[in-house]
Amino acid sequence: MSHRSHFSCLPIFLILLLSLPACSSGKKEKTKTMPPALVVTAVARQQDVPIEIKTFGTMEAAESVTIKPMLSGELTKVAFREGQDVNEGALLFEVDPRPYQAALNKARASLDRNRIVMNNARKDYERYAPLAKEGIVSQEQAEGYRTRAETAAADLAADQAAVENAQTQLSYCTITAPISGRLGTLTVDRGNVVKANETALVSINKLIPIRATFTIPEQSLSLIRQRLAAGEMTVVAEVSGTAGFTEKGRVSFLDNAVDPATGTIRLKGQFANEQKRLWPGQFVTISLTLDVRKQAVVVPTQAVQTGQKGPFVFVVKPNNTAEARAVVPGPVYEAITVIDKGLQAGEQVVIDGQMRVIPGGKVEIKAANKPEMDAKDKPPEAATPVQAAASRE
């Protein structure tokens, strides 16, 4: 290679060498001027937190009866309106009683006839028994009258049973409510012929009180048994939706076996339902309170993050720097999480903007962003005291 080529490369080398410090100093200045991360924070606080098991359940009537006729015949009367509340013993239906009244009359006539036959047979036996002892009539004749009197007595007893049966059949022509509750849909109109023990006429559901059926995992069985052994256990049914509500009750039943197919065990809760807001077949969320954690340190659930070393939260120090601190989360209740270890009440934690936070880096806490609206519609609201607010993009 010639000397001329060596000298021609020298300016390029010098230019590259001089440019390196300039690039390095530019990066340092850029790092120094990096703005703090905008975050939302909340203050860790202490409060009583219930320890709960949540599951889903279905409401069912405390008592449910499907009304069927006990005998066949024409339905001559319907004495209620569909959906009506009825009391026990209220008249619901009448079946044509004429055939059953005629059967009762016949049974009574047979009873009266056999009563006369029996009385005459007894008198004959009472008259012939002394004559047989005196030898005036034979003993066989006296025994014949005795047998006739005993047969008539047996016939009379059979007729008495027939009368009672006919009376019972006649009483079945009047159908009354066996329980108090709410009537469902009428399935057979007046004038139709119904069959004994086959035709379903209407159903009655008892709504006060009412029950909820639900299941829990078998892993929670020991906790449930301990809690039931300590006394009455509270259960809360929640109905979601725009008109949602909650209703408190008590656990009334724990099944005697775990379902091996699902690994769950069935329970039932009973609710007073005085306002009749709960309805059979309704789908509800069930909450079982096992215990209450007194004065636990809690933070909003969104503050707890998961990293390679486990759960952590970003704690904002007094100098507005963020510390990534490992924590041991406990039970979750609604929108808060109990922190068993790693955090003290009064410390600020980041609940939004964690993706922009650098451990040890500066953060800036801003007031919460509010939805934009016209001033004439609604004045802006102040930020809540426990939450500093969200980042501006």
Q: Domain 37-49+295-365: which topology?
A: 2.40.420
β-strands 37-43, 363-365: how paired? parallel
Question: Quick one: pLDDT at residue 385?
Answer: 35
Q: Characterise 125 by phi-psi region: left (phi > 0), alpha (psi -120 to 50), beta (else).
A: alpha
Percent of the chain with pLDDT over 70: 84
Provide the mean pLDDT of the chain.
Answer: 84
pLDDT at 191 over 90: yes
Residues 247, 237 contacting (CB under 8 angstroms): yes
User: Mean pLDDT across the stretch 68-97?
Assistant: 96
pLDDT at 21 over 80: no
pLDDT tens-digit series, residues 339-388: 999 999 999 999 998 898 989 889 988 765 444 434 334 444 433 333 33
Given the structure tokens 């009472």, which residue do they identify?
A: 126
d(CA 223, CA 106): 67
Rg of the Cα trace of the chain?
A: 44
> Which residues neighbour 181 within 8 Å (Cβ) at sequence distance 6 or greater?
61, 63, 65, 85, 86, 204, 205, 206, 207
Q: Domain 69-96+173-200: which topology?
A: OB fold (Dihydrolipoamide Acetyltransferase, E2P) (2.40.50)
Residues 163, 107 contacting (CB under 8 angstroms): yes
Question: Quick one: pLDDT at residue 387?
Answer: 36
- Residue 109 tokens read as 């006539």
Each domain of the chain, given as residue ranges in start order, spans 37-49+295-365, 53-61+207-293, 69-96+173-200, 98-171
pLDDT tens-digit series, residues 104-127: 999 999 999 988 888 888 887 777
d(CA 10, CA 76): 120
**How far is residue 45 from each of residues 296, 339, 356, measured CA to CA in Å?**
8, 10, 25
Question: Quick one: pLDDT at residue 33?
Answer: 58
Do 69-96+173-200 and 98-171 have matching folds?
no
Question: Quick one: pLDDT at residue 119?
Answer: 87
Question: Quick one: pLDDT at residue 3?
Answer: 47
Three-state SS for the chain is CCHHHHHHHHHHHHHHHHHHHHHHHHHHHHHHCCCCEEEEEEECEEEEEEEEEEEEEEEEEEEEEEECCCCCEEEEEECCCCCCEECCCCEEEEECCHHHHHHHHHHHHHHHHHHHHHHHHHHHHHHHHHHHHHCCCCHHHHHHHHHHHHHHHHHHHHHHHHHHHHHHHHHCCEEECCCCEEECCCCCCCCCEECCCCCCCEEEEEEEEEEEEEEEEHHHHHHHHHHHHHCCCEEEEEECCCCCEEEEEEEEEECCCCECCCCEEEEEEEECCCCCCCCCCCEEEEEEEEEEEEEEEEEEHHHCEEECCEEEEEEECCCCEEEEEECEEEEEECCEEEEEECCCCCCEEEEECHHHCCCCCEEEEECCCCCCCCCCCCCCCCCCCCECECCCC
Cis peptide before 209 (omega within 30 of 0): yes
Position with higher pLDDT, 165 vs 370:
165
Position with higher pLDDT, 93 vs 150:
93
pLDDT at 99 over 60: yes
Which residue from 68, 85, 89, 58 is spatially nearest to 206, judged by alpha carbons? 85
Q: Domain 98-171: which topology?
A: Helix Hairpins (1.10.287)
Residues 77, 173 contacting (CB under 8 angstroms): no
Q: Superfamily for 53-61+207-293?
A: Efflux pump adaptor protein, beta barrel domain (2.40.30.170)
Question: Quick one: pLDDT at residue 274?
Answer: 93
